[in-house]
């Protein structure tokens, strides 16, 4: 295991319910739109990866025409990205418990670190700088570069290309079924650390599923990686 490639939303940070959801709702409010996403509805909307795609799909369901959506979605999403950056800058988004220690232990064990996310670079970079300031994630692949979002494997293929490693020498760390499918489609072993939104996902194919980062260390990640090589 030469490298570990981390997802961001739901994995490095528990960012969806009290982060992105809040920012989407503030953006609706600021643009004078009547929509509000509650915790339960947002959980269902998370099946559509990528904020702009999520907005398009939801607004289409609300009967908004394609022309209207093409005009409003980029504005809504740009403002939502700014608002989410403000939440990060205000210290409202925190690393998941135990993940900072794990990435430091991996770096100390000379396992290289990378990021593959469907989220936008506009908030991913400031979030990593603020919450993981000394962690050498390289490359950081975001939804801005990957041509298709998870569960498509593009982001993982790009991360592997940046690392110059074959999939067999890396491991993905994810929180969701979408992420697991993307990682496996790229040929990567995958450990899933579930959260409230993903605990009921079908994760049977994962090399390892745990409820929190306190259940993981470098040795258990290496074991999960080896499990995939034997398959
Ligand atoms: C994350 C996403 C993103 C975030 C919001 O999925 O789907 O859309 O919800 O970020 P994953 P943006 O954790 O599988 O990468 O609004 O920037 O898209
Ligand atoms: Mg995720």
CATH of the domain at 147: 3.40.50.1000
Domain boundary among 89, 114, 130: 89
Report which bound ligand comes closest to the CA of 56.
1
Q: Which residues are catalytic?
A: 7, 9
Mean pLDDT of the chain: 97
* For the CA of 118, the nearest atom of ligand 1: 15
DSSP run (H or E) holding 137: strand 137-141
Say whether both 9 and 114 belong to one domain. yes
Please indicate, yes or no, whether residues 83 and 196 belong to a single structural domain of this protein: no
Pocket test of ligand 1: the residue of 7, 45, 49 to mutate, having most ligand atoms within 8 Å of its CB, is 49
Write down the pLDDT at residue 229.
85
For residue 9 and ligand 1, the question of a CB distance below 6 A is answered with yes
Which pLDDT tens digit goes with each residue over 91-128? 999 999 999 999 999 999 999 999 999 999 999 999 99
Same domain assignment for residues 130 and 207: yes
Domain that holds residue 162: 3-14+94-230
Please check whether residue 78 is in contact with residue 71, taking contact to mean a CB–CB distance below 8 angstroms. no
Q: Is the CB of 21 under 6 A from ligand 1?
A: no
Residues 67 and 45: beta-carbon distance below 8 Å: no
Q: Which residue has the tokens 């908004």?
A: 64
Residues 217 and 205 in one domain: yes
Total structural domains within the chain: 2
Q: Is the CB of 119 under 6 A from ligand 1?
A: yes
Atom nearest to 122 CA in ligand 1: 17
Query: Which tokens go with 141?
Result: 């692949």
The ranges of the chain with pLDDT < 70 are none
């Amino acid at each position: 295991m030469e490298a570990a490639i981390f997802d961001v939303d739901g994995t490095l940070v528990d960012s969806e319910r009290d982060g992105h959801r809040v920012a989407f709702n503030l953006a609706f409010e600021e643009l004078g739109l009547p929509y509000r996403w509650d915790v339960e509805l947002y959980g269902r909307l998370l099946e559509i990866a990528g904020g702009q795609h999520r907005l398009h799909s939801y607004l289409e369901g609300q009967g908004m025409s394609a022309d209207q959506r093409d005009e409003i979605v980029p504005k809504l999403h740009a403002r939502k990205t700014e608002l989410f950056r403000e939440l990060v800058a205000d210290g409202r988004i925190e690393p998941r418990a135990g993940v900072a220690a794990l990435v430091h232990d991996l770096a100390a064990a000379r396992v290289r670190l990378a990021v593959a996310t469907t989220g936008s670079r506009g908030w991913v970079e400031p979030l990593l700088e603020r919450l993981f300031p000394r962690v050498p994630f390289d490359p950081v692949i975001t939804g801005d570069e990957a041509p298709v979002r998870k569960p498509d494997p593009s982001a993982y293929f790009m991360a592997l290309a940046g690392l110059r490693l074959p999939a067999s020498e890396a491991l993905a760390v994810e929180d969701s079924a979408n992420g697991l499918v993307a990682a496996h489609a790229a040929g990567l072993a995958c450990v899933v650390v579930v959260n409230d939104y993903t605990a009921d996902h079908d994760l049977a194919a994962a090399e390892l599923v745990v409820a929190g980062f306190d259940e993981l260390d470098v040795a258990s990640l290496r074991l999960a990686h080896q499990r995939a090589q034997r398959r």
